[in-house]
Amino acid sequence: MTDQALITQFQNGESKEAAFTQLLKSHQAQVFFQIKKMVLEHADADDIAQAVWIKVWNKLDGFKQESAFSTWLFRVAYNETLNFIAQKKRLKTQSTQNELDHGLEHPASQDALKETAIQIKLERAIAELPEKQRFVFMLRYYNAFDYEKIAAITGTTVGGAKANYHQAVKKMTSMLEQA
């Protein structure tokens, strides 16, 4: 069944849960990994993804299908992720920021110790990218979304989305090249 048919089924009130579950099954992994690439922490990604899908459940009745469901879904995910990051930034004190920086430089966990220096550098570079650039880059590089779709998701122009992508690549490359 197509997304369109499932949405119509949901909006008509015919076995809403079944239609919603189908939509969830089709898109949840893609949305979750996009969010996780943004926030890195599994627990944070889980919280955001739950919030995204609850919002989808609450707002799907009013979705007019003027755009693809996936575009709308990623737009919800984009807004939720940015809200979460902004909230977290407000809560962070200078001392905790220093601890996090220290943690990135000297990873304590076994997995982190196994990582190569280049991977740590990349994570650091990704973390330092502005949220919009990071989101655009992940959508384009890992999900291969076209720029029209990315522009619709992030509320920018096609040119703006391309510029964001290139800026992200440039910054990450330069960070990796640094000794």
Partner 1 sequence: MSLINDMNDMNDMNDKENESISKALEEALKSFEAKTKQVSAGYFDQFELDLMQKIKAQKQTPKRAPIITLFLEHKQYLVAASLIFAIATGFLFFNNPEKNTTTIAKVELIEIETLPDELIEAYVNNNEPVAEVEWNSAIEAAGTNLISTNQ
Using CA atoms, how far residue 67 sits from 3, 6, 143, 149, in Å, is: 12, 15, 18, 9
Amino acid at 94: Q
Structure-token match 């190569």, residue found: 116
104-123 footprint of partner 1 as x/- string (CB under 8 A): -----------xx-xx-xxx
Of the pair 24, 100, the CB lying nearest partner 1 is at 24
Does 24 bind partner 1 (CB under 8 A)? Our answer is yes
The reply to whether 63 sits near partner 1 by the rule CB under 8 A is no
Which one of 48-56, 68-76, 79-87, 88-96 is the stretch in contact with partner 1 (CB under 8 A)?
Answer: 48-56
| Sequence-ordered strand ranges (E) for the chain | none
Q: What is the C-alpha separation between 153 and 65, in angstroms, rounded?
A: 14
DSSP string, 52-90: HHHHHHHHGGG---SS-HHHHHHHHHHHHHHHHHHHHHH
69 near partner 1, rule: CB under 8 A: no
Binding flag, residue 50, partner 1 (CB under 8 A) = yes
Binding of partner 1 by 87 (CB under 8 A): no
* Out of 26, 33, 104, 127, the residue judged to bind partner 1 by CB under 8 A: 33
CB closer to partner 1 out of 50 and 98 = 50
CA distance 179 to 141: 25
Which tokens sit at 78?
Answer: 């984009």
**Span of 59-67, 99-107, 128-136, 168-176 interacting with partner 1 by CB under 8 A:** 168-176
- State the nearest-atom distance from the C-beta of 93 to partner 1, in Å: 27
Residue 124 engages partner 1 in binding (rule: CB under 8 A): no
